[in-house]
Amino acid sequence: MAKSKTKQEEPKLDGMRLGIDTQL
């Protein structure tokens, strides 16, 4: 669970991924 790295690397992707993860 690398939220810090993902947010710093690509915050946009993090949001999209979170949405998909929640739906899954």
- pLDDT, tens digit, for every residue of 1-24? 556 655 566 666 667 777 776 665
- One-letter identity of residue 8: Q
DSSP 3: H
How far is 12 from 17, CA to CA, in rounded Å? 9
**What is residue 11's predicted lDDT score, i.e. its pLDDT?**
63
* Radius of gyration, CA atoms only, the chain: 8
Dihedral Cα 14, 16, 22, 24, nearest 10 deg = -120
**Lookup result for tokens 């946009």:** 12
**What is residue 22's predicted lDDT score, i.e. its pLDDT?**
65
